[in-house]
């Protein structure tokens, strides 16, 4: 259960990071509200998962999932440049996250 919550919390990290970027310095109410809600839920899930998972592994997976999803969202929906190298590097992060799960 902790792994499921951890991955979902990593997804919420992507939500709050994206909302933070769209909040214009926390001056736009809706993105700011999404940022705050996503942050609280993401941190709560991370906290729950770290009750049973090692901190280093849990944090690395949480950050990895959030980083990959944030970058993918930006490339798909926000016009961030896409390159083969960028996609391969993001796939490498996914592979490393899977490796951490397998090593646990």
Tens digit of each residue's pLDDT (9 = 90 or more) over 39-71: 999 999 999 999 999 999 999 999 999 999 999
Q: Which DSSP category does 80 fall into?
A: -
Query: The whole model's pTM is what?
Result: 0.92
- Angle of helix 55-77 relative to helix 29-49, nearest 10 degrees, comes to 150
Residues listed for the chain: 104
Distance, in Å, from the CA atom of 16 to the CA atom of 82, rounded to the nearest integer, reads 22
Predicted pLDDT at 83: 97
Radius of gyration, CA atoms only, the chain: 14
Predicted pLDDT at 104: 79
Phi, psi torsion values for 80, nearest 5 degrees: -65, 140
Helix (H, G, I), strand (E, B) or coil at 104: coil
Predicted pLDDT at 101: 87
pLDDT-based confidence at residue 89 (cuts at 50, 70, 90): very high
Predicted pLDDT at 49: 98
């Amino acid at each position: 259960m902790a792994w499921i919550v951890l991955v979902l919390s990593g997804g919420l990290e992507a939500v709050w990071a994206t909302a933070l970027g769209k909040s214009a310095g926390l001056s736009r109410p809706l993105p700011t509200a999404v940022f705050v809600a996503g942050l609280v839920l993401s941190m709560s899930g991370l906290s729950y998962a770290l009750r049973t998972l090692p901190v280093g592994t849990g944090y690395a997976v949480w950050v990895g999932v959030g980083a990959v999803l944030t970058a993918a969202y930006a490339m798909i929906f926000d016009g961030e440049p896409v390159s083969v190298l960028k996609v391969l590097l993001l796939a490498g992060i996914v592979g490393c996250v899977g490796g951490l799960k397998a090593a646990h």
